[in-house]
């Protein structure tokens, strides 16, 4: 099967996911995913599937992306992929890269995201039965020739040991940062709210730390928090999120930790990067040079930087962190370059 056929198969999957005829089937699948994992609300799962269809699975985008790399490997390999499961269908990009590059996929699906990824695999096989011989779901990846693994900092140490003798990409914990200049509009704050809270803030592309300008007066978070207040009901309707919010709020109150609160989201000054669910950390800066130096120091812990209209070079506009494109590789490591270089 040549790359053109592989890409056409993925484009056909995108067409299906966008089609009116698919919506009843997708509604059933996302309900099953929610039953398996309460963090995966039907709305969030549908949003993730639509983002995949729109940002990845059009023939124009697929062709332009794939043209940057060799179309066929010198020798097809079996690539073992340990998939993450923190947000809906998060492992799909790795699946796409492996198959688009001409290799076979040996996938260990996350128990937290089994329903959606398994469904997408089955749909690919239905569209193109040749993929039956290209995709295998497995618990053990011993037979793979190379590996891509995503997990926590702790599991990364295990992956490095387990996969040490073969080529691999090992990903650790990362998070994302939002840069405020003090001139943002309400519309920009609403978009930033999506970067913070979409998928309940569980993704590495969710903003968990804000950098705010330091002036004669403390930064005024009121416009941001007020802009996001209408979202409170959406998040507090999830009992798991509300439990985290109530717990973190009580800790701050009991320990007299200064914080801001808009009814579902807490902001507190903290030098950490990965904030708890329902909490956003903030730090202050004086100059753009301070921001660049801080980002450079923490580069190996940051997935994405967001700023209003992508103001900071290398950043993405507010509202775009959870809608990556095909070339937005996790941890900044070009997955396709790794695969086509095997």
The sheet with strand 316-317 has its strands ordered as 260-261, 266-269, 279-285, 207-213, 175-179, 302-307, 316-317
Q: Give the confidence band of 154 by pLDDT, cuts at 50, 70, 90.
A: confident
Compute how many other C-beta atoms are within 10 angstroms of the C-beta atom of residue 285. 17
Ordered structural domains, the chain, with CATH? 3-173 (3.40.605.10), 175-317 (3.40.309)
Residue 152 pLDDT > 90, yes or no? Answer: no
pLDDT at 158: 84
Collapse the DSSP code of 79 into the 3-class scheme (helix H, G, I; strand E, B; otherwise coil) and give the result.
strand
What mean pLDDT is reported for the chain?
A: 95
Are 142 and 27 contacting, i.e. CB atoms less than 8 angstroms apart?
Answer: no
pLDDT at 195: 97
**Average pLDDT rounded to a whole number, residues 34-62:** 97
User: Residue 117: is it exposed, middle or buried by C-beta count within 10 angstroms (0-12/13-18/19+)?
Assistant: buried
pLDDT tens-digit readout, 182-239: 989 999 999 999 999 999 999 999 999 999 999 878 899 999 999 999 999 999 999 9
Query: What is the share, in percent, of the chain residues with pLDDT greater than 90?
Result: 90
């Amino acid at each position: 099967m040549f790359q053109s056929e592989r890409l056409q198969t993925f484009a056909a999957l995108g067409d299906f996911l966008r089609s009116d005829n698919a919506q009843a089937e997708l509604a059933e699948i996302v309900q099953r995913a929610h039953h398996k994992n309460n963090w995966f609300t039907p709305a969030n799962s549908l949003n993730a599937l639509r983002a995949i269809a729109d940002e990845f699975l059009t023939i124009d985008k697929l062709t332009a992306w794939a043209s940057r790399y060799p179309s066929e490997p010198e020798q097809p390999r079996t690539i073992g992929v340990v998939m993450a499961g923190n947000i809906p269908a998060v492992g799909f990009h790795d699946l796409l890269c492996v198959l688009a590059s001409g290799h076979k996929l040996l996938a260990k699906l996350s128990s937290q995201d089994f329903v959606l990824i398994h469904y997408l695999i089955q749909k690919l096989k239905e569209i193109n039965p040749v993929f039956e011989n290209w995709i295998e779901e497995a618990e053990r990846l011993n037979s793979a020739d190379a590996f891509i693994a995503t997990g926590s900092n702790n599991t990364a140490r295990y992956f490095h040991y387990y996969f040490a003798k073969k080529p691999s990409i090992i990903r650790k914990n990362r998070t994302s940062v939002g840069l405020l200049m003090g001139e943002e509009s309400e519309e920009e704050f609403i978009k930033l709210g999506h970067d913070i809270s979409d998928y309940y803030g569980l993704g590495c592309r969710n903003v968990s730390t804000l950098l705010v300008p330091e002036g004669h007066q403390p930064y005024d978070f009121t416009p941001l928090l007020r802009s996001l207040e209408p979202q409170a009901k959406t998040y507090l309707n999830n009992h798991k999120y509300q439990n985290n919010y109530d717990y973190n709020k009580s800790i701050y109150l009991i320990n007299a930790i200064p914080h801001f609160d808009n009814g579902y989201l807490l902001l507190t000054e903290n030098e950490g990067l990965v904030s708890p669910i329902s909490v956003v950390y903030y730090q202050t800066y004086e100059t753009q040079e301070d921001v660049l130096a801080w980002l450079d120091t923490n580069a190996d812990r940051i997935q994405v930087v967001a700023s209003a209209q992508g103001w900071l070079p290398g950043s993405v506009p507010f509202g775009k962190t959870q809608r990556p494109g095909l070339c937005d590789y996790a941890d900044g490591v070009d997955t396709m370059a790794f695969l086509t270089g095997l």
